């Protein structure tokens, strides 16, 4: 398979934070939820999220955006390091950031800070646009696309340009290959234009409708019919080759001729929808860069956005950037300190143990399910000596330091601690987790740690395990030994 084509992303970067916890009661002094066992994560937002998602597809991504000398800009640079090639525009003011307060995966409140704007183009940015083979513009209305608009207009005449517009931004430059407004955004842009001459005055006087009342207001025509009408209006007014109106779990409506094409979602995804539009736009732009037809690009983008939501959306993607406790390096919060803090805040501490030699899909599914059982997940890892005593002198294949690093890279893992003993009773005594997770293959086994957990009211919890996954099987296959083929990963849906 050939390497995915490079992509240039142009747009306004944000820094997003989530403060996630549990909200089981209201405050005594006001009718507001009390958030407990809070976990903070940070991730690139806005166009920076779109750029990182394109890079996750294996693309070489160059990102043109405005950054300054403020702390938020510095934090974002660190998150983007080694993921994309940055081409910076000057920024006036502080970079914008968003903070969501989340309870059990659902937002309670959002705080917006920073009003920085791009304040001019650079030769380097215009040269990057001129050299690009495909461009994605994510215009969040903070000036980046405006600063290089003439260069983007020239690019649209020669290469595929995908434009993801937002309410505070400007319309796309003429000639874009694909514009990707959400249904509410398409409604707002079309209303501002005035769909019919007799309604222009009313369109100028009313605000763009973006809330749940849209469907009720447009009930006689239906939501699909309204999206189709808006797409036709924008297709003509923007002089775009095609417009794809994204419609959440309904999929997307592609218009580039008389009859629109509905591309439905492959399934109904349950998860955080934040960032789904960026996932759609980045996937569509990448596929067009790979010379896909617009119909195929939109179909692939709908599938990518659905999977993104299923995987936890932007909140789940934050795990790719979240720092975890690193007791092996002596820095940060140790596993024991994390457990004590979560326990003191009334949260649930979950622990899981094992060798995790040659981490595979079965391990990941187990750990993801374990994290959903509580408010933090600590992995208790057998040391190299412990693994040798259990599995023989040929194991482990991967040394403990590398196994720690791989586990810490998983978004579902909050901390890793290594123990030297053959069984984990001692480390469990130190952590005192509420739940100790094991795979379902232990269902008929009385584990020695069960009695230890019962000492403080903890319990062992069994979770399903993906059949056929095994580090031993992987090692045998890598060594060229015959064995049964591993199951098709696409057939598994872990819940």
* Two tokens, residue 432: 């005192």
DSSP code per residue over 200-269: HHHHHHSPPP-STHHHHHTTTT-HHHHHHHHHHHHHHHTT-S-EEEE-GGG-EEEESSSS-EEE--SS--
Q: CA torsion sign, 490 to 359 to 19 to 110?
A: negative
Three-state DSSP class for residue 58: coil
CA 388/CA 449 separation, integer angstroms: 21
Catalytic residue, from 278, 290, 357, 375: name it: 278
CA 323/CA 327 separation, integer angstroms: 12
CA 366/CA 417 separation, integer angstroms: 18
DSSP E strand boundaries for 12-57: 13-22, 36-46
Q: Burial of 311 by CB count in 10 Å (0-12 exposed, 13-18 middle, 19+ buried)?
A: middle
Query: Is residue 197 within 8 Å of residue 313, measured between CB atoms?
Result: no
Beta pairing, strands 252-255 & 243-246: antiparallel
Shortest CA distance to 134 belongs to which of 189, 199, 178, 94?
178
Q: How many helices (H) and strands (E) does the chain have?
A: 19, 19
CA 155/CA 174 separation, integer angstroms: 10
- Specify whether the backbone of 473 is left (phi greater than 0), alpha (psi in -120 to 50) or beta: alpha
Helix (H) or strand (E) holding 67: strand 61-67
* Two tokens, residue 154: 């020239």
Beta-bridge mates of residue 437: 352, 461
CA angle in degrees (0–180, nearest 5) for 344-373-452: 65
* Two tokens, residue 446: 């009385």
CA 81/CA 77 separation, integer angstroms: 6
Beta pairing, strands 135-139 & 161-165: parallel
Sheet holding 415-419, edge to edge: 415-419, 376-382, 349-354, 435-439, 459-463
Let me know if 278 is a catalytic residue. yes
* Two tokens, residue 189: 């842009």
In angstroms and rounded to an integer, the radius of gyration of the C-alpha atoms of the chain is 25
CA angle in degrees (0–180, nearest 5) for 138-51-71: 90
Question: Mind telling me the catalytic residues?
Answer: 278
């Amino acid at each position: 398979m050939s390497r995915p084509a490079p992509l240039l992303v142009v747009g306004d970067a944000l820094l997003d934070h989530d403060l996630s916890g549990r909200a089981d009661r209201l405050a005594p002094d006001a009718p507001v939820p009390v958030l407990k066992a809070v976990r903070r994560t940070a991730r690139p937002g806005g166009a920076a999220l779109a750029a990182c998602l394109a890079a996750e597809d294996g693309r070489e991504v160059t990102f043109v955006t405005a950054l300054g000398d403020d702390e938020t800009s510095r934090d974002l640079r660190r998150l983007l390091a080694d993921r994309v090639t940055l081409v910076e525009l000057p920024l006036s003011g502080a970079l914008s950031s968003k903070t969501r307060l989340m309870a059990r995966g659902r937002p309670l409140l959002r705080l917006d800070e920073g009003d920085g704007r791009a304040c001019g183009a650079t030769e380097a940015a215009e040269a990057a646009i001129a050299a690009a083979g495909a461009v994605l513009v994510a215009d969040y209305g903070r000036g980046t696309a405006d600063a290089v608009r003439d260069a983007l207009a020239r690019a649209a005449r020669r290469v595929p340009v995908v434009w993801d517009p937002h309410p505070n931004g400007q319309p796309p430059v003429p000639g874009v290959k694909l514009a990707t407004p959400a249904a509410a955004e398409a409604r707002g842009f079309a209303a501002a234009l005035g769909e019919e001459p007799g309604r222009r005055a009313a369109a100028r006087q009313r605000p763009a409708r973006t809330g749940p009342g849209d469907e009720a207001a447009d009930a006689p025509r239906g939501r699909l019919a309204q999206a189709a009408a808006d797409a036709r209006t924008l297709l003509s007014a923007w002089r775009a080759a095609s417009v794809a109106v994204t419609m959440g779990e309904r999929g997307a409506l592609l218009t580039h001729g008389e009859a629109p094409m509905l591309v439905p979602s492959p399934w109904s995804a349950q998860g955080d929808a934040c960032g789904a539009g960026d996932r759609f736009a980045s996937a569509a732009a990448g596929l067009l860069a790979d010379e896909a037809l617009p119909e195929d690009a939109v179909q692939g983008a709908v599938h990518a956005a659905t999977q993104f939501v299923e995987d936890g959306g932007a909140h789940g993607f934050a795990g790719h950037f979240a720092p975890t406790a690193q007791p092996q390096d002596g820095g940060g919060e140790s596993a024991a300190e994390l457990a004590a803090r979560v326990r003191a805040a009334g949260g649930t501490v979950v622990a899981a143990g094992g060798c995790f030699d040659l981490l595979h899909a079965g391990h990941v599914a187990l750990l993801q399910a374990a994290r959903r059982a509580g408010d933090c997940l600590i992995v208790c890892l057998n040391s190299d000596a412990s693994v040798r005593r259990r599995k023989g002198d040929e194991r482990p294949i991967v040394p403990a330091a590398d196994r720690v690093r791989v586990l810490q890279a998983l978004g579902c893992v909050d901390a890793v601690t290594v123990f030297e003993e053959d069984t984990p009773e001692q480390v469990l005594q130190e952590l005192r987790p509420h739940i100790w997770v094991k795979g379902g293959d232990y269902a008929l086994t009385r584990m020695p740690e069960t009695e230890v957990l019962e000492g403080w009211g903890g319990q062992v919890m069994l979770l399903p395990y993906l059949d056929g996954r095994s580090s031993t099987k992987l090692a045998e296959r890598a060594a060229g030994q015959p064995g049964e083929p591993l199951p098709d990963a696409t057939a598994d849906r872990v819940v």
